[in-house]
Each structure stands twice: as structure tokens, then as C-alpha cells.
Amino acid sequence: MHPSTATLLAAIATSVSAYSATQGTFAVNHFYGNGPLVMGRMDPIISPGVPSGHVHAVQGGNAFALTLTDNQLLSSTRTSALVKNDKSAYWTPSLYFQDPSTGLLENVEMYYMNVYYFFDATTDVIESFPPGLRIVVGNPNLRTPPATGGLLINDRANGVPQPVQWVCPRTGANSNDPLYPTDSDGLHGVGIQDPTNAGAVVGFPDQNCDGYASPLRADIHFPSCLNKPASIDDFEHNMEWPTNGKCPSGFTHVPHLFYEVYWNTSAFSNRWMQGEGTQPFVLSNGDPTGYSLHADFLAGWDITTLTQIINNCNTQEGGMDTCPGLIGGLNDPSTSCNIPDPVNEVVTGTMSALPGNNPVGTWGGGKKPTPTSSTATTSAVVTRTSTTPPGPTVTSIVAPGWKHDGCYADTNARVLTGVLFANIGQNTATNTLCVAYCAANGWTMAGTEYGGQCFLDESKCSMPCDGNTGQICGGSSVLSL
């Protein structure tokens, strides 16, 4: 006869420590197997149903897909997490090395990933994540340092939250030396030092990170206050940061997630010169600065299991897999949990361009991308499919009652999202047909484009429409709106 869950929880609660108002607890969620669950241009939060703008490294349940409903991850038959009942998905942009001699790009192996579940000191009741909860942190468009400098801030009592950093563990005599000049402004090839931690920076370090089993590491904190009135899939409004450990009135306190993602940068240490104000690594979105570090989480926990862990598990670095009374058991760490990349493209090895054709940018910010349109939910996109080289710049025209509003930068998440590919016929796109399609479906905005990276430059809108070379249909990741 097996004891009930309630009886089990009561039995172990007396022997372990839960969080309290003065003493937080935590446990590390470990992963196993041959690399991440999958690497590919997949982001079901930002780009549901279509290839995302850049490659991500994903850990979690094997039901992960281009589109995920709130409960879909719960149907996973396996997970790359050691804890069987955690079928959540965790992902970050992948990392590449750009050879200083050839300019060619090579993927950097994800060495390993840890996800800390902090149950911070608080008088709030900490509850489990509801299945389907989506959380996004970081700014993938950022190419300049944050206003807070090198500080890491994850509580509003300490200032405006700045939740991402890079950590560069080093051995020997250099282990405690600053990574960057103390007067660095973060705009000229080197980032900004965390004044409280000699090993942490915003922006990539220009040093080789050779700590024991700890090369270059991405550190990413997540907010822990859930706005229950907001939809769990409203990732722009459903979460807030605590203040002095407490959530705002009406919010629910959930675990404080913290990702540690280690990248095997030491494998390239003899192919570039360290400490000279430049570095060869680039995120999959084309960012060579590291400021655009970001991460996503989509909850797929069995609620009873996570609740038991919150209330009873303080294994700390020992690992969540050693929690007393763990419900559901563990996966076999000698096996592996991997799924194929549904985008079916090369994302590893040596390549001349990043997947998604993201060009590698420069330090100092460059052209800033345009923010996502507030009217994106009432619009449609027509994308150029022809490979015909662009012709001379000509003036775009539109249908009666509509006007050409200008040339605007797009984003990897797509500024206009009502329809990704309007059905107006392959290689026949014109502004007139796009407007007619959108008008017939009740949209008030339309845009024509030919994919690529973000630029804010009117001259970039220079590609003739496939169906009428007398009209301009955007350019490389820019919209004729």
C-alpha cells in the first residue's frame, strides 16, 4: 500500500527546511545527455509556428515544438531534466566563434546548463508555476550597455532590474584581476566590469575563461512575481520583479529562476589574442557585444511535484535530483533526450553566415532597431520570395485610400504579426495586392519585405516587388509600411 501524497509531504516536512522570511532556500535543476534537447531556430513564445530569427539551445520536455499550447509540454514522454516531472522548456540564444583570420563562424558547444530554483526569503507564499506560463527576460535588440552599468540587479529595491551578465572564471594569477579597464564605457570593444565581482561583466570579456569545468558562463535571472489577472501567455505583462523580496499586492510569488549556461569557449583559446580589447564570440542573433543576452521559460511542471520541492527541498548545489521524497523519480543520466530540429537546417559546424542570415554587427550600438508596433495584432506581412537581385530605387505606390508611411525596421519577432505569409501568390507580390488582401481581411496596416536583419535607413527599402518592378517592397529586414 502506497501512502498518499498528503501523508508523504507531512512526513518529510519536519526533516527539511522550507523558505522563510529571513532565510531563503534553493535547489539546482540538472540536465543530462548528449548536448541540449535541441538546437535550432525555434522560439514558440516570440515566434510561434514559424522559424525564429536566430538559433536557440533548448533544454526540457521532448514535446517542445515551434508552437506550444499551455499544456502541450505536459505530454512529453521524456525530458532532458533529471527530474522526470519537470517537462518545462528552458532556452537561450546559442553562441558562435568567428575566426579572426577567415571570418568563418563555428558553433560553440554548450558545455552544460544549470537552472537554479531560488525560494527567496519572503513572507509571501511561494507557489508553483502554472503549466503554460511564459517568461522572457533580456533584450535581444540591445547592442549597448545598460544604464545600470555592470551591476546585476534582480530586486527593485536596488534599482531598475538588470538581470543578465557574463561570468568569466579564470585560474592562476589572473583569477582576481578585473576583466576590463575600470574606465570602460562599454562601447569600444570591451564591456563594463561589475564593481562587486571581478569575474562578472556586461558584454563579452576579452579574456579566455578557463576556470575548472567552468568556461564562459551566461547568468540570467527571471522575475518571480506572477500577475494572475494577466494571461499566462502574456509574457510582456504577466511578470514583475519583487521589492525587498515581496511581490506587489495581487501578485503570486513563484520560484526565482536563475540560468547558468556554460559555453566551451576554451576550445578556441589558441585561435585569438586575449586581453587586447576585442573578442571573437557572437550570439546567434549576430550580436558580438553580448549585451543582447536573453532567455525564455515555458512551464511544464507537474504542480504537485514542484510544490513539494518548494516547501521541502533545500539541497542547494547538491541538486534538485537529491530532494528528499521527490515525486516521480529521475531519468537515467546514462541516456540522452534529444529531438530533431524541425527547421531542418545546418546550425553547427563551420559556416560563412549565421543561420537565419543574421549579419555580425559591431560594438557601439550601430543602427537601433525599431520597437515592435503597438498595432501589430491588426496587421499582416507579405514576404518577398524571389531571388532576383534588387533593381534601381523607385517610389512605392499603394492602393486608393491607403498611403505609403515609410521604411521601417523589422525585428526577428516580426513587427506585423496578423498573418505571416499572406496568400497572394508566389513571386507576384506588390504593395497593391498586399493592401487589397489586408483590407479584405479587416486589417488597417500592411507591409512588404524581404527577410534579413534590422536596419533603420530609408535607403534600405530598395527591392522591387516581385510582381511589379515599379513598386518597392521593402528591403533586408525593413518594411515598406
pLDDT at 355 over 60: yes
The whole-angstrom separation of Cα 369 and Cα 356 is: 17
Task: Give, in order, the Cα–Cα distances in Å from 415 to each of 152, 315, 411, 419.
Answer: 30, 44, 6, 11
First and final C-alpha spacing in the chain = 67
Residue 358 placed within a domain: no
pLDDT given for residue 401 in this prediction: 65
Average pLDDT over residues 171-184: 76
The rounded mean pLDDT for the chain is 82
Query: Of 297, 316, 351, which one is at a domain's C-terminal end?
Result: 351
pLDDT at 27 over 50: yes
pLDDT given for residue 92 in this prediction: 98
Q: Are residues 428 and 322 in the same domain?
A: no
Phi and psi angles of residue 433, each rounded to the nearest 5 degrees, phi first:
-65, -40
What confidence category does residue 390 fall into, taking pLDDT thresholds of 50, 70 and 90? Answer: very low
Task: Give, in order, the Cα–Cα distances in Å from 253 to each of 119, 193, 256.
Answer: 9, 31, 9
Average pLDDT over residues 331-354: 96
pLDDT given for residue 348 in this prediction: 96
DSSP, collapsed to helix, strand or coil, labels residue 25 as strand
pLDDT at 80 over 60: yes
Phi and psi angles of residue 466, each rounded to the nearest 5 degrees, phi first:
-60, -40
What confidence category does residue 327 fall into, taking pLDDT thresholds of 50, 70 and 90? Answer: very high
pLDDT at 7 over 60: no
The residues with which 296 forms a beta bridge, in sequence order, are 91, 136
What confidence category does residue 2 fall into, taking pLDDT thresholds of 50, 70 and 90? Answer: very low
Average pLDDT over residues 38-57: 97
pLDDT at 435 over 90: no
**Per mean pLDDT, which range of 189-198, 238-247, 305-314, 364-373 is the poorest?**
364-373
The whole-angstrom separation of Cα 184 and Cα 175 is: 20
Q: Are residues 332 and 456 in the same domain?
A: no
Q: Are residues 338 and 209 in the same domain?
A: yes
Closest CA to 104 of 358, 354, 452, 357: 354
Q: Pick the residue with more confidence: 16 or 54?
A: 54
Residue 361 placed within a domain: no
Residue 108 placed within a domain: yes
Q: Are residues 277 and 389 in the same domain?
A: no
Average pLDDT over residues 146-171: 93
Q: Are residues 48 and 97 in the same domain?
A: yes
Residue 385 placed within a domain: yes
Query: Residue 51: which domain range?
Result: 5-351
Phi and psi angles of residue 156, each rounded to the nearest 5 degrees, phi first:
-65, -20
pLDDT given for residue 19 in this prediction: 85
pLDDT at 13 over 70: no
H helix or E strand, kind and range, residue 444: none
Q: Are residues 79 and 27 in the same domain?
A: yes
Average pLDDT over residues 218-241: 93
Residue with cell 516536512: 13
Say what the pTM is.
0.74
pLDDT at 393 over 80: no
Degrees (nearest 5) of the Cα angle 201, 257, 368?
50
Q: Are residues 23 and 164 in the same domain?
A: yes
Q: Pick the residue with more confidence: 425 or 96?
A: 96
pLDDT given for residue 276 in this prediction: 85
Using only C-alpha atoms, the chain has a radius of gyration, in whole angstroms, of 24
Task: Give, in order, the Cα–Cα distances in Å from 117 to each of 68, 258, 326.
Answer: 23, 7, 15
**Per mean pLDDT, which range of 106-110, 195-199, 295-299, 427-431 is the poorest?**
427-431
Q: Are residues 154 and 209 in the same domain?
A: yes
Q: Are 51 and 74 in contact (CB under 8 A)?
A: no
Residue 357 placed within a domain: no
The whole-angstrom separation of Cα 412 and Cα 139 is: 12
Q: Are 204 and 279 in contact (CB under 8 A)?
A: yes
Q: Are residues 222 and 134 in the same domain?
A: yes
The whole-angstrom separation of Cα 470 and Cα 275 is: 52
Give the chain's length.
Answer: 481
Residue with cell 542573433: 285
pLDDT at 9 over 50: no
Residue 356 placed within a domain: no
Query: Of 299, 327, 351, which one is at a domain's C-terminal end?
Result: 351
pLDDT given for residue 40 in this prediction: 98
Tell me the pairing of strands 110-119 and 25-30.
Answer: antiparallel
What confidence category does residue 398 fall into, taking pLDDT thresholds of 50, 70 and 90? Answer: low
pLDDT at 103 over 50: yes
pLDDT at 99 over 70: yes
Angle between helices 303-312 and 5-13 (to 10 degrees): 10
The whole-angstrom separation of Cα 27 and Cα 314 is: 6
Query: Of 351, 385, 416, which one is at a domain's C-terminal end?
Result: 351
The whole-angstrom separation of Cα 89 and Cα 79 is: 9
pLDDT at 385 over 50: no
Q: Are residues 388 and 252 in the same domain?
A: no
Q: Pick the residue with more confidence: 15 or 365?
A: 365
Q: Are residues 278 and 425 in the same domain?
A: no
Average pLDDT over residues 453-462: 43
The whole-angstrom separation of Cα 83 and Cα 94 is: 24
Q: Are residues 468 and 324 in the same domain?
A: no
Q: Pick the residue with more confidence: 106 or 406?
A: 106
Closest CA to 481 of 436, 441, 434: 434
Average pLDDT over residues 167-184: 79
Return the percentage of the chain with pLDDT > 70, whole number: 76
Average pLDDT over residues 325-344: 96
pLDDT given for residue 171 in this prediction: 85
88 by Cβ neighbours in 10 Å (0-12 / 13-18 / 19+) ranks as: buried
Segment 257-288, tens digit of pLDDT: 999 999 999 999 999 998 888 899 999 999 99
What confidence category does residue 446 fall into, taking pLDDT thresholds of 50, 70 and 90? Answer: confident
Report the number of distinct structural domains present in the chain: 2
The whole-angstrom separation of Cα 370 and Cα 449 is: 15
pLDDT given for residue 380 in this prediction: 35
